[in-house]
Amino acid sequence: MPTFTNLHHVAVTVRDLQASVAFYEQVFGFEPATEIDDATLHRKLFALPGGTNLGLTQHDRGDDAGFSPFSPGLDHLGFEVENQDELEAWAQHLTARGIEHGGIVEAPYGYALSFKDPDQIALEFFVSK
């Protein structure tokens, strides 16, 4: 069977690229590394720690149906953190920036801090037990 080495990138569609980029810059604390513009889409890529890229894409022809984790497709994006202290630091970081979150929640497999982006895409900082 062929193999692959890692998840290279995830691209999500957003309604307002400028607003989404501003949100992710506020959360991550850094700017996109790359920009792609062509006749049908505009994309900005964030180079995340660990080598994965997060692409935010605004298509010229959009669908106003909106994001739902209950529809087929993306449920949420999870960003791994090193330990519970780091997770607590992320909770404080989000709170200080006025970004609503659900607090740190324990699950059988770890601890999660959930929040949403401007398009209601579910995001999570996570540490394994």
pLDDT tens digit sequence for 82-124: 999 999 999 999 999 999 999 999 999 999 999 999 999 999 9
Residue ranges of the chain assigned to CATH 3.30.720.120: 1-61
Query: Buried (b) or exposed (e) across 78-97, using 16+ Cβ within 10 A?
Result: ebebeeeeebeebbebbeee
Q: What is the pTM of this model?
A: 0.88
Q: What percent of the chain is predicted at pLDDT more than 90?
A: 78
* Cα 19 from Cα 125, distance rounded (Å): 21
Beta-strand relationship, 77-80 and 122-128: parallel
Beta-strand relationship, 34-37 and 122-128: unpaired
Nearest CA among 54, 5, 62 for reference residue 34: 54
pLDDT for the residue 62: 64
pLDDT averaged over every residue in the chain: 92
What's 1-61's CATH class? alpha beta
| Fold of domain 75-129 | 2,3-Dihydroxybiphenyl 1,2-Dioxygenase; domain 1 (3.10.180)
